[in-house]
Structure 1
Amino acid sequence: KRQALYAVLDRLPLTPNGKLDTARLPEATAPRSAGGAPRTEDEERMCAEFAACLGLDAVGRDDDFFRLGGHSLLATRLIGRVREAFGAEVAIRALFDHPTPAGLLTALDRTAPALPPLRAARPRPARVPLSPAQRRLWLLERLGGAGTAYHLPVGLRLSGPLDRDALAAALGDVAERHESLRTVVAEDADGPYQRVREPAPVPLAVAPLPRTGSSAPDPEPFDLAGEPPLRARLFTDGDRDHLLVLTFHHIAADGWSMLPLLGDLGDAYAARRAGRAPGLTPLPVQYADYALWQRELLGTPDAPTGRAARQLAHWRAALDGAPAESAPPADRSRPDRPSGRGGAVPVTVPAAVHRALLERAAAGGASPFMVLHAALAALLSRLGAGDDLVVGTPVAGRPDEALAGLVGFFVNTLALRTDTSGDPDLTTLLARVREADLAALAHQELPFEQVVSAVSPPRHPARHPLFQVMLALDNTPAPRATLDGLTVRRDTATGRTGAKFDLTWDLAERHTADGAPAGIGGELEYSEDLFDQATAERYAAQFTTLLTALLDRPDTPFT
């Protein structure tokens, strides 16, 4: 269990030359419950849901979800848990407005019908359509423009005596447990659909470990109609030094999928090494069940009272008149067609600035992501991108708790529009960002592809529609692989497959062992078609500098 630690300051202490005076920072302490133990049975249930979602031993009736480490991703999960526990619907805005167990109880809508729970289809129809997200990737593959851009490679450094037979069997066990890893795309007169293959061994290709100590990304595109969307390669150097590279196609997995996948792989490997089948608990649902449930939940866009139509109405209004481009100046003109080549430079936000960001978010009833979004919007405006900006961000897309342990392609993309006009300060800009981001999160179920189709922005073959700059704050726990008898660590050199956008700020919060903020790190990925490395380095540094200044002087206009 973890416990977040914070210190509240009116403003950051500075040295005479304007730098952060770390010696004058107070010690961080654990937040105290303002209201203590729950007073009713409903409050007790709600406190239990908060604690389970946050990974804490207990939560008081008036403890603030966000001050205890909650964020937008956990907020979506909490809403799913509350829906299941109380049989009532709750809007994500309600959690931001009432972030305590006692407060959220007052915001439950017990009159509106809750979302139908996700259950396995019994019996499953013979023809299961692709999900909208899968359909988009399938179309890209058919057009021949995807290449390896949607490969998802994961590298694991293994030190110690490796049982290759046990590893190969464990990979087969994981593919048997998660149908998405053995699903291919078939097509008939009605369009593409999922075809789940019977369980079969996952081939484990073995090769010598390259002298560089790293492996090149898998250069061969997947044949999504003819082969499963998972490849496994093992690079070895003697008996005790290995690199396992698992390459998934994005049509079958996303970043969140690595948590359950690596956990299942570890359990299966330990069992196979001991000479027995793993006996993994059957999953409550599979990806095909989700695709059917999503289609039923949203309905068709032409049904005026359906969920899809209501969400489309929001996006049409929110993005009406949005600019075709919201990108800072580039070093080169946009090419006729993108090459997909990309590089990355580090982004570092110190721990003291991280602490100040958390306090500013809590004071504004916002999430840490929203503060970062406000800072990025301010930077883009200062760089010359305009004062009407659209930035993209990924969301996990797992609205039901049954999806938490499933491997599949659930992630969705939101287009977040921000108005930076009128020389706002951080306080004002954060309020604008909060309003727009909450509205987007409330309509996050509609697949991005349908939003693009409905809004119909001006298209360019080398420009991503609706936005060109992505901001991702990864708050998922870092996937950890444990293989019996081996020392395992992630190989950070494995995984780069190019740039999908002009610029991507890919960030993650860091915490100490006791939960205290330890900084925000990550990278700025840039398209080499447009930017030089030096430009990306300058933008990354300017982001941290501006964020620090905004937090230090939240009532001063950023222009």
Structure 2
Amino acid sequence: MVNLTAILSDLSGLKATDLDRSARFVDLGFDSLFLTQASLQFRKRFGLRITFRQLFEEAPSIETLADYIDSKLPVETHPGADGRTDLLETSIRSRAARISAVDLYDATSSHPQGASKGGAPSLLERVINEQLKIMEQQLELIRRGEGLPDSEPPSLTGTEVEADRGEPRTALSDPGAGRAKEAADEAASNGGPIPLTEAQQEIWFASQLSPDASCAYNLSNSLHLTGSLDHVILEAAIHELVESHDALRLRIDPLGEQQTIEPSGRATLTIDDLSQLPESDRAAQIEQAREFEVTTPFDLENGPLIRFRLFKLQETAHQLFVTVHHIACDGWSLQLLERRLSFLYSNRKQGRSPDIDWPQFREFAAWLADARQTDAGREDEAYWTEEFATPAPVLEVPLDHSRPPVQTFSCRRLGMDLEDELLTSLRERATEAGMTLFSLLLAAYDILLWRLSGEVDLVVGLFAAGQPAFGADVAGHCVSLLPVRTAISGDETLDAFLLRVRSKLGDAYDHKLLTLGDLIKRLGPARHANRLPLIATTVTMQTPPTGINFHDLAVTVENHNRRASIFDLELYMRELDESLQIDFQFKTELFEESTIRTWMDHYRVVLESMAEQGQTRTADIPVLTAEQWTRYVADRNDTSREYSSLLV
């Protein structure tokens, strides 16, 4: 149990003494992303696969998880000081066995890795022998009851990812993945092409439809920097950022099949001095620039795929625009790049030049290709194929305008805030139901879509970051779009429906290796020129940026709303200090603003009802505000009239 507590403490930043071992993980405030990362660390430490869903159902607390792990490990484990079985010895023996297996594989392979000549030990053999010696020393420490040092044995190439399920591992635990990484490194160093991932190919195909379609993949933020900014150091940090991330130097071939990594990046910093303009003119210039960033497509073939633009508003006030194409960078990666840019700037500002060796996107692409060929990859393929063995209807909510014969992309975004009181109630309701806040918000959205469309078989797209599965913070397009399919019935209780949503979400997160594009190829659904197959709406929970520290500057981050989208309707959620910001993004060719505002009111009513009710049937969950009920129901059904007595 001590090891479990230490892992959770390291990941969460909470003190180990503050972690209630009997409390459910949801009671401790752990969300879906956190538990995904934790499950991977458990796999690394104990050699056991523990799924996201199990952390909600079978082992939802530190105590129950410790019991579960004890039941799955061999009996030759060491009793811990707290009376429980210590898991360290089993973990070390398991790791030693894996290394020995790799040693045997390399010794018998017709193409051994690092094979020695003339009987002299190879580098790989020396590393294996050294790790086995360290592990024996650790086992001896355990036998004497002295415990282990904090650090783990060194790996051959540092932390990578296990190909059978994507958990952190050393390169030695999977020779195939190691060779894939070496092949990717060799191709990159020789300037050779690297295949696009399936997800990148989906983006490339969509981007070819029109410039507007390509702009649907522009990710753009602005960093508000307050203080004395050094322009020269910032530009040098930007250059170093691009040089140290291969994803920012990608170029896509004209056929959308291969990508090359430029040996040197060409991203430059454009500087606009607006400090002499009146405040109203400065604001207008900033708005025009923001519009330019979200409506100007990237040249995927010639690059660059990232743009930096700095606006000087006053001597101590600047805005830095960072815009990147989604084929090179996902939302997780954009935050990561901004943190690393601040790190590079801060170090240069202080005269330091730390050695950096950040994981590269080509490594992730190689790992992903290997992982999909493993048993876990085939399991994920089987799961999604079975999930959609019966064709799913594409969501049809009421439209204000007929769908154009060819898909259009223009969109707008409207937002509302959920006040702290309601947000607190929703968190308590989610905890009571044994689910995360995101799961509860998704369930409410499902109910809204059902009431709007009458469809009892719903498919909603959810985005799942691939970096936790890879086991390292890598910048690139590593996200998967998961088509979560949920049935809904008006006769079931709200509690029963919440349990099913939680289950479906857990299954989806546990099967992330198959991309949406590959699934669509396998299913072969009917395609139409005016809409996407399978998914019409998505839900995204955006996490507030953290760790962005430009030396002595104050920093705030602002997201730039897109002006183009490939989906009919999108729901974005973002937790703020004392509220939850909820945005509805919609295609303007299909919906009027007034309609979306009405739906936003409906969604709030559903959330308010879910915060209070549990055994209520889903059909009885209200969607109308008091004003809407009066206007749509009471007034229209009030047919009583006064008549003259002469007519009686």
CA drift of 1:114 comes to: 6.4
Q: 1:461 aligns with which of 529, 536, 539?
A: 529
Per-residue CA deviations over 1:194-233 (Å, capped at 9, x if unaligned) read 3222234531122354442432232432222212311111
Distance in 2 of aligned mates of 1:367 and 1:323: 26
Task: Check whether the contact 1:263–1:481 (CA below 8 A) recurs between aligned residues.
Answer: yes
Distance in 1 of aligned mates of 2:66 and 2:305: 43
- Gaps (5+ residues) in structure 1? 1-42, 300-304, 512-517
One-letter amino acid matched to 1:355? T
One-letter amino acid matched to 2:617? P
Report the equivalent of 1:15: none
Report the equivalent of 1:140: 206
Larger of the two Rg values belongs to structure:
2
Report the equivalent of 2:412: 343
CA drift of 1:45 comes to: 0.9
Per-residue CA deviations over 1:484-529 (Å, capped at 9, x if unaligned) read 343332234x342323311111012345xxxxxx332221111111
Q: 2:457 aligns with which of 388, 402, 405?
A: 388
Distance 1:49 1:240, change over 3 A: same
**Do residues 310 (structure 1) and 310 (structure 2) align?**
no
Per-residue CA deviations over 1:231-289 (Å, capped at 9, x if unaligned) read 11122345333321111111111111133212211121123334x46325312x31101
1:265-344 equivalence runs, <5 A:
265-274=341-350, 276=351, 278-283=353-358, 285-299=359-373, 306-344=375-413
Moved more, 99-108 or 373-382: 99-108
2:309 partner SS: strand
Distance in 1 of aligned mates of 2:520 and 2:333: 26
CA drift of 1:533 comes to: 0.8
**Do residues 51 (structure 1) and 127 (structure 2) align?**
no
Report the equivalent of 2:331: 255
CA drift of 1:477 comes to: 4.0
Report the equivalent of 1:95: 55
CA drift of 1:125 comes to: 3.7
**Do residues 67 (structure 1) and 27 (structure 2) align?**
yes
Report the equivalent of 1:195: 260
Distance in 2 of aligned mates of 1:437 and 1:360: 17
CA drift of 1:150 comes to: 0.7
Distance in 2 of aligned mates of 1:320 and 1:100: 35
Distance 1:277 1:148, change over 3 A: farther
Report the equivalent of 1:302: none
Task: Check whether the contact 1:504–1:525 (CA below 8 A) recurs between aligned residues.
Answer: yes
Which one has the bigger helix percentage? 2
One-letter amino acid matched to 1:287? F
- Gaps (5+ residues) in structure 2? 75-93, 95-163, 172-177, 188-192, 275-281, 620-648
Distance 1:143 1:526, change over 3 A: closer
One-letter amino acid matched to 2:468? P
Q: 2:310 aligns with which of 210, 216, 234?
A: 234
Task: Check whether the contact 1:425–1:558 (CA below 8 A) recurs between aligned residues.
Answer: yes
1:130-529 equivalence runs, <5 A:
130-144=196-210, 146-186=213-253, 192-200=257-265, 202-209=267-274, 210-212=282-284, 213-214=286-287, 215=289, 216-218=291-293, 219-274=295-350, 276=351, 278-283=353-358, 285-299=359-373, 306-400=375-469, 402-403=471-472, 405-474=473-542, 476-479=543-546, 481-492=548-559, 494-511=560-577, 518-529=578-589
Distance 1:221 1:360, change over 3 A: same
1:30-41 equivalence runs, <5 A:
none
Task: Check whether the contact 1:175–1:181 (CA below 8 A) recurs between aligned residues.
Answer: yes
Report the equivalent of 1:17: none
Distance in 2 of aligned mates of 1:259 and 1:319: 34
Distance in 2 of aligned mates of 1:466 and 1:343: 22
CA drift of 1:396 comes to: 1.4
Distance 1:324 1:419, change over 3 A: closer
Distance 1:51 1:196, change over 3 A: same
Distance 1:194 1:241, change over 3 A: same
Moved more, 406-415 or 219-228: 219-228
Distance in 2 of aligned mates of 1:313 and 1:445: 11
One-letter amino acid matched to 1:466? L
One-letter amino acid matched to 1:555? Q
One-letter amino acid matched to 1:293? W
Task: Check whether the contact 1:394–1:413 (CA below 8 A) recurs between aligned residues.
Answer: yes
Report the equivalent of 1:13: none
**Do residues 77 (structure 1) and 32 (structure 2) align?**
no
Distance in 1 of aligned mates of 2:520 and 2:66: 36
Distance in 1 of aligned mates of 2:439 and 2:568: 21
Equivalent residue pairs, number: 499
1:242 partner SS: strand
Task: Check whether the contact 2:413–2:561 (CA below 8 A) recurs between aligned residues.
Answer: no
Per-residue CA deviations over 1:290-330 (Å, capped at 9, x if unaligned) read 1111111111xxxxx84333222221221233443224211
Task: Check whether the contact 1:550–1:558 (CA below 8 A) recurs between aligned residues.
Answer: no
CA drift of 1:331 comes to: 0.7
CA drift of 1:429 comes to: 1.1
Task: Check whether the contact 1:469–1:502 (CA below 8 A) recurs between aligned residues.
Answer: yes
CA drift of 1:392 comes to: 1.2
Larger RCO, structure (CA 8 Å, separation 6 or more): 1
CA drift of 1:47 comes to: 0.9
**Do residues 129 (structure 1) and 87 (structure 2) align?**
no
Distance 1:280 1:477, change over 3 A: farther
Distance in 1 of aligned mates of 2:207 and 2:414: 29
1:347 partner SS: strand
TM-score by length of 2: 0.72
Report the equivalent of 2:128: none
Distance 1:366 1:324, change over 3 A: same
C-alpha RMSD of matched pairs (Å): 2.5
One-letter amino acid matched to 2:568? D
Task: Check whether the contact 2:266–2:304 (CA below 8 A) recurs between aligned residues.
Answer: no
CA drift of 1:143 comes to: 4.9
Distance in 1 of aligned mates of 2:522 and 2:411: 30
Identity over the aligned pairs, expressed in percent?
28
**Do residues 558 (structure 1) and 618 (structure 2) align?**
yes
One-letter amino acid matched to 1:268? L
